[in-house]
Structure 1
Amino acid sequence: MNLTPDSKVIIQGFGEFISASHIAQMKAYGTNLVAGVQPGSGGQQLDHLPVFDLVEEVVGQFGSIDTTIICVHPYQVLDAALEAIASHIRQIIIISAGVPPLDMVELLRKAEADETLVVGPNSPGIIVPGKILLGTQPSEFYTPGVVGIVSRSSTLTYEVARELTKAGLGQSISVSIGSDAIVGSSFLQWLQILDEDDSTEAIVLVGQPGGGSEEAAARYIAEAIDKPVIAYIAGRQAPPGKTWRQTGTLATVVGRPPNFGTAQSKIAAFEAAEVPVAERPSLIPELLKKAIP
């Protein structure tokens, strides 16, 4: 990964998923936004960025690009991402929500073949506090430190960061992997990244009802992660049989146990893996302070 202030970043699409204030916030944070891509708008300036019709035109003018932030209509995400991969961009953040699952399947096959990291869809992106902001996360909740955050949620990610900052616990990196039915990078990938990251001393994992990714993460933590991990699972009081709309959950698959995808199932998995689970975000700092040597 290249997540430094020198990383060259572009935005594909200017629409409902990103605003002028988000772009201004990224630039103010020091993110090296070099251009935007909007077919039919080449040669214009949008939100104080030069705009090109094609990604390859940006590469031709600015050289290799490290990261693209995709904000196009969900049915255009696949084309935008494939265009980025064809231009050798190896970090893709998809802000757009509601990408068709079969489009994501095709994209992830191509991304794996080309060793491309995909974050999202339905993700506010990544922040390395004090260094770079990629997406729509509110930077004012963050401060540099040693706690890594990996989350399926959007707003809960910021809430957890705010609680850590209030408690004097800065963050090394925060990433929302997204909450569409099919997303790119997983809890497992980011747990490995954070476990190997020299600037991260402890990890906070934020989960929510739907699917089985938290259960898989719990097993992986028990087997492979050396650093302390604290979990928080939202939706403890969600009615049985109900799911959160934005998770796009596939929890009703035939053959699953009755509690598959529930907050209770996820909490039980972390407890079995001896991972402390906070009852609410405000209690995460207390558990972290006990876990960090």
Structure 2
Amino acid sequence: MAIWLNSDSLILVQGMTGAEGRKHAQRMLSSGSKVVAGVTPGKGGQSVEFEDGVTVPVFGSVAEAMAATGANVSVVFVPAKFTRGAVIEAVDAGIPLVVCITEGVPVKDTAEFNAYAQQSGTTQLIGPNCPGIISPELSNAGIIPASITGKGPIGLVSKSGTLTYQMMFELGDIGFTTAVGIGGDPIVGTTHIDCLQAFEDDPETELIIMIGEIGGDAEERAAAYITEHITKPVVGYVAGFTAPEGKTMGHAGAIVSGSSGTAEAKKVAMEAAGVRVGRTPSEAAQIARELLAKKA
């Protein structure tokens, strides 16, 4: 089992004819993902040649690509100014999952296409400004390195791309059902809570790791949700214990005001919900090992 992405996932890449789209489409193919189409307006009827003799057709629209190939996942690699239109097009086509990798998307645009996806009732949006989603040995949609981990019983949701990779590497010998990088922008499509519930419902996920960061109240809201709805053990880590107050740190959403949004405040909220919180990624990984050993 896995959440949202599995061996039946057929991926189209919006922007596959661009440098980034092409590079990461190759990486997805090399990791075993089924990349079946590219979408670039005005370039329908072309194709892109990849390693090992793989040729992927390009279509002029998401709807055309879905009709021709049965694609059910879109990975968006288009420039920020075109991202709103690309996501809305994918939602209008009725694709079940959109993974938006693009960074630097205006918050107004994100708010609009996120609301549009939610109102559709058919499309799960991950991102923007995220590394994507991977279900190891099944499929990989985005830019997460596939070689750093294998399949296993841990579910991972993270705001940070690099911390997603680090946690997957640290626990690579145990493995993951699915790892989701939700992105660090102030507004994102899929939240910690969405992933927590999906992992709770997944029979093969035995433990959940939740990585947050300073700024906002997403982790506090997730902690409240865990108290009411999550029965599986959850391990947490919050990036930014040493961050100075009042400064934007990396992600657009990572800004602290007073005591609100600090790593310590989030740690307290998570621990009150029964979450074991590490002060470093390695400590969080060690806690996960200990909890899984107790379950064995």
Tell me whether the two structures share a fold, i.e. TM-score over 0.5: yes
Instruction: Give runs of aligned pairs for residues 1-293 of structure 1, distance below 5 A.
Output: 2-14=4-16, 18=20, 20-46=22-48, 48=50, 49-63=56-70, 65-115=71-121, 116-165=123-172, 168-249=173-254, 258-292=258-292, 293=295
Q: Does the aligned pair in 2 maintain the 1:15–1:72 contact within 8 Å?
A: no
SS at match of 2:171: helix
Match of 2:53 in 1: none
Q: Percent identity?
A: 37
Distance 1:242 1:251 in 2: 7
Distance 2:285 2:242 in 1: 22
Distance 1:266 1:16 in 2: 40
Q: Does the aligned pair in 2 maintain the 1:69–1:134 contact within 8 Å?
A: yes
How far is 1:286 from its partner?
A: 2.4
Distance 1:135 1:96 in 2: 10
Q: Does the aligned pair in 2 maintain the 1:5–1:30 contact within 8 Å?
A: no
Q: Does the aligned pair in 1 maintain the 2:73–2:96 contact within 8 Å?
A: yes
Q: Deviations over 1:86-143 (max 9, x none)?
A: 1110101000012222222221222122221100001110000111001000111111
Return 5+ residue gaps in structure 1 as ranges: 253-257
Root-mean-square deviation (CA), in Å?
1.9
Classify 1:232/1:16 alpha carbon distance in 2 versus 1 (closer, same or farther; 3 Å). Answer: farther
Q: Which moved more, 1:91-100 or 1:280-289?
A: 280-289
AA in 2 matched with 1:209: I
SS at match of 1:78: helix
Q: Which moved more, 1:70-79 or 1:48-57?
A: 48-57
SS at match of 2:117: helix
Distance 1:109 1:77 in 2: 14
Count of aligned positions:
285
- TM-score, normalised by the number of residues in structure 2: 0.90
How far is 1:19 from its partner?
A: 5.0
AA in 2 matched with 1:45: S
SS at match of 2:259: coil
